[in-house]
Chains A and B, each alone.
Chain A
Amino acid sequence: MTKKQSSEGLISARRSENEPMRGCEIIRESLVNQGVKHIFGYPGGASMEIHHALNKTDKIQLILTRHEQGAAFAAGGYARVTGEVGVCMATSGPGATNLITGIQDAMMDSIPLVAITGQVPTSVIGMDAFQESDIVGATKQMTKHNYLIQDIDSIPEIFAEAFYLAKSGRPGAVLIDIPKDIQQSYTIPNFSRKYKRPGYQPNYEANPRQIKQAAKAIKQARKPVIYCGGGVISSNASEELVKLVEKTGIPVTTTMTGLGSYPEDRDNALHMLGMHGTEYANLAVSQADLLIALGVRFDDRVTGKVSEFAKHGKIIHVDIDPAEINKNKLADIPITSDLKEALIKLNETVEPGDYERWLEQIAEWKKNRPLRYKSSGEKIQPQAVCEKLSELAPDDAIISTGVGQHQVFTALHYTFKHPRTWVSSCGLGSMGFGLPAAIGAKLACPDREVINVDGDGSFMMNQQELAAAVQHSIGAKTIILNNHHLGMVVQWEDRFYGGDRGDTYIGEPAVDFLKISEGMGVKAARVTEKSELEAGIKQLLDHDGPFVLEVVVSYEEHVLPMIPSNGTIDDMIVPDF
């Protein structure tokens, strides 16, 4: 599907150094200079110049999503699986505001993202012009940094800095807003100009004394636990984490963002902790005498009542962001550092202590209090779908999700073995994330299986992106766990609101997901019987191209274990069998 229609042919470099370029062309060249290969976007009056300019290079492919939110989520998915900056683009006003959820999502999960927005011409900024919105003002607290370009000559340096900021230190979202007149005007660009930035210092080196203290605490501990999160993935530190565990034998629990950072099929894996963590992970953390917190932020979904969390243990906290240290929980041994660097240093000297009894205790918990659900009954349990998928999907498959019960079922019942195989809106919890994120991930990793495990509610929020997948031949697949309800809210209604229903039933009308999929050119199948499940998943995996498998599941299933909001280990709800 070629998109090149220009009679000028392909322009990827300038013909002469002194030739003036239009702002939109300078933007294109700045993106090429950053190594950008894909942009997810949706054009409009204030951004069409950039689209036209992009169509004249073969170095960057524009993926036309069907909603700007889809573009932002797709860019997030792309960034999550590659570690590279994801790029999304929209026009001014509604285009820009539609990006916001994806921008905040990237920010919450520390994902490198650059959002480009067109803005109304400089002459009418502030006049409440058609499709004007102060997107820079609106996203000030949702971005690591943002810019309104007011001078065409600053385009190269602003783009270079935006990408640097997005991926350096603690990654995050950066937005660049560019008025239409600046895209249209001409200048002789200077691509070597650098932004002057006197205060930004993203890298911290671990203090050797604190590394020594950490090693000493690990040696002295009797009941240590590693609690690791998204920071392990951002800093590509999985290998070092595995080495630390191999050297010491300390058990590992991961946050939701950290899934895949430690291979979950190993004996030391305690799987996820927190509100919906495993019993053994939460028990281990609550009784630990040393909590080794790696690239985590002591989020409320992990800690519950924060004063009671890990209260018997000393805390070693390693994070690249100094503001995370002591934010929610005081650290006894704070280490501000890139995690990979800190672990390399720690691994040089670390030695295990005497953990024999502790590891026996943990083995007993894992044996006697495993993840469990009632597999009897006629209807398909969503947990069983996740387990079956885990069994059948290739080892390096990438799994994305929407948000709700299906997300947590997947987090618990799918076995993640590699970093960057789990793609989910963990911090912001934005429904509708799964399909566009899967499209972004599949585009980045075309040779790997990418499957969006979605809920019916979440899927409906961005189902239009099936069209984008078809247009660009992106074979991202989807399993819809259809329970005709907003399952997680229903679970809360059942558990804490006496079963009172507040607009959580979405089964009327019964949406025909097969017709919706087929209507956009996507092959689809439906499974309603347990006996059909395996064949259905195999059909999905065997299909070459986008595919939707609807699995009708029971809505009465609850995600367990569960520690109610702001609760403690004593409040943990577990299956009664």
Chain B
Amino acid sequence: MTTIKRQTLSVLVENRSGVLARVAGLFSGRGFNIASLTVGETEDPELSRMTIVVEADHRMLEQVVKQLRKIIETVKVEDFSCRPFVSSELLMVKVAATASQRSEVMDLVNIFNGKVVDIDTASLTIRFVGETVLLDDLVEVLRPYGLKELARTGTVAMARESKTRSAGE
């Protein structure tokens, strides 16, 4: 009944200084857990879009949505828990790979549609774009080689308009 799941919200806010702090403060102040938060300008330079992935049960999610709507600079909150959406995340990872391991790692890079963006004698820096769950898998597959550095952007998401698939992700 009260299962905590990752829920994705898309929040359109006014593009002004201080809005991010207000949103972040709301989460910490009310004890909501943010899994990821991304923010960037939209097609309208006066607006920013935040994609927030929150760990919440149904009731907490309702509160998160309502509290976000109370922020004066919030324009719109879309809750993707009950509608299909597409999402993506960018990940960069520096894998310890000596010359002998390189081809093995390259195979994985190809399987996951990654791209090598930097290389030296002891490591490969690879960029991947994909759905968050896929990137989670990728990290585990690469871990045995030795992860020297890892950075992720967090999820960005949009409602799915196409009717051919009924479920998102």
Contacts and interface: CB of A to CB of B under 8 A. Distances in A.
- A joins B in a complex: yes
B51 to A, nearest CB: 17
B72 interface: yes
B73 to A, nearest CB: 7
Given A140-B21, A326-B59, A327-B63, A199 B26 contact: no
Contacts of A472: none
B62 interface: yes
Contacts of B102: none
A198 B75 contact: yes
Given A140-B18, A199-B69, 9 more contacts: A137-B21, A140-B25, A197-B14, A199-B12, A199-B74, A199-B76, A323-B63, A323-B66, A323-B69
A56 B24 CA distance: 42
B165 interface: no
Interface in A142-198: 144-145, 148, 165, 197-198
15 contacts: A136-B18, A140-B22, A141-B22, A141-B25, A148-B18, A197-B72, A198-B14, A199-B13, A199-B14, A199-B73, A199-B75, A322-B66, A323-B66, A326-B63, A327-B63
A303 to B, nearest CB: 16
A321 interface: yes
A322 B18 contact: no
Nearest to B59: A326
B29 interface: yes
Nearest to A201: B69
B72 A145 contact: yes
A144 B71 CA distance: 8
Interface string B58-70: 0100110011011
A200 interface: yes
Contacts of B25: 140-141
Contact of A199 (B21, B59, B63, B72): B72
A145 B70 CA distance: 10
B70 to A, nearest CB: 6
A144 B72 contact: yes
Given A137-B21, A140-B18, A141-B29, A323 B67 contact: yes
A61 to B, nearest CB: 30
A197 B73 CA distance: 7
A259 to B, nearest CB: 26
A200 B72 contact: yes
Interface string A385-425: 00000000000000000000000000000000000000000
Nearest to A325: B66
Given A140-B18, A198-B14, A322 B69 contact: yes
A343 B88 CA distance: 48
A321 B70 CA distance: 9
Contacts of A197: 14, 72
Contacts of B29: 141
Nearest to B76: A199
